[in-house]
Amino acid sequence: MIIDVPELSLVALVGISGSGKSTFARKHWKPTQVLSSDFFRGLVADDENDQSASGDAFEVLHYVAGKRLAAGRLTVVDATNLQSHARAGLVKVAREHDVLPVAIVLDVPESLAWERTQDREDRTFGRQVLTRMHRDLRRSLGQLAKEGFRKIHVLRGVDEIAAAEIRYEKLF
Ligand code: CTP
Ligand code: MG
């Protein structure tokens, strides 16, 4: 599956924990092109899992995203992006820089994500957290277009995610 992405865009990865966002980002982009919520929580709070630091972390993430977009650099946001208000911050920063916001949704079965999560030492939440995320994801699918995402690519299942190739569209 070819994923067409404008050469200059703000790409929001959307997916529950364990859906493979960070893995996908490592495969397709340079580390410096990817702004992850984990990294920014670590930066402001010394702890990538400190959810109480999310407000500050996203403030800094948005700031850096804005600087990158102002310089014409494609930027990928590696966060769950499951809440409308979280995505609104990304749409806002994209619009401020006349850049198209693009969503790439990684939609994997909750059971698979849970299996992966149990193998991870850096994730300690319970199953009910994942169930809530999965519900938020289903709701998100119907909201992305009206929130302002101009391209929405939904990759369903591990095979589609593994087969995805990014193709860059020239703007001029
Ligand atoms: N993983 C895997 N096969 C894939 C993708 C991911 O086995 N095709 C594994 C990763 O090695 C990792 C776990 O699944 O141990 C979660 O993948 P990750 O990319 O970290 O998922 P995220 O969506 O980034 O999870 P989070 O939101 O918690 O950061
Ligand atoms: Mg991740």
> Which atom of ligand 1 is found nearest the CA of 80?
27
Interacting residues of 38 by C-beta distance below 8 A, sequence separation 6+: 22, 48, 49, 78
pLDDT at 113: 98
The answer to whether residue 10 scores a pLDDT higher than 70 is: yes
Query: Any long-range contacts for 36-44 (C-beta under 8 Å, 24+ apart)?
Result: 36/77, 36/78, 36/79, 37/61, 37/77, 37/78, 37/79, 37/80, 38/78
Instruction: Give the tokens for residue 143.
Output: 């909201």
Q: How confident is the model at residue 64 (pLDDT cuts 50, 70, 90)?
A: very high
Does 164 contact ligand 1 (Cβ within 6 A)? no
Residue 109 φ/ψ region, left for φ over 0, alpha for ψ in the -120 to 50 degree band, beta for the rest: beta
How many residues can be counted in the chain? 172
Q: How far apart are CA 149 and CA 127, in angstroms?
A: 30
Q: Which ligand neighbours the alpha carbon of 124 most closely?
A: 1
0.95 exceeded by pTM: yes
For 113-129, the pLDDT digits (tens) are 999 999 999 999 999 99
**How many Å apart are CA 77 and CA 80, to the nearest integer?**
9
Q: Does the C-beta of 6 come closer than 6 Å to ligand 1?
A: no
Has residue 79 got a pLDDT over 70? Answer: yes
pLDDT of 172 reads 66
Counting atoms of ligand 1 from 1, which one is nearest the CA of 25? Answer: 19
In this prediction, residue 170 carries a pLDDT of: 87
CB of 15 closer than 6 angstroms to any ligand 1 atom:
yes
* Distance in angstroms (rounded) separating the CA atoms of residues 116 and 114: 5
| Predicted-assembly ipTM surpassing the 0.90 threshold | yes
Nearest by Cα to 37 from 88, 10, 77: 77
* Whether the CB of 120 sits within 6 Å of ligand 1: yes
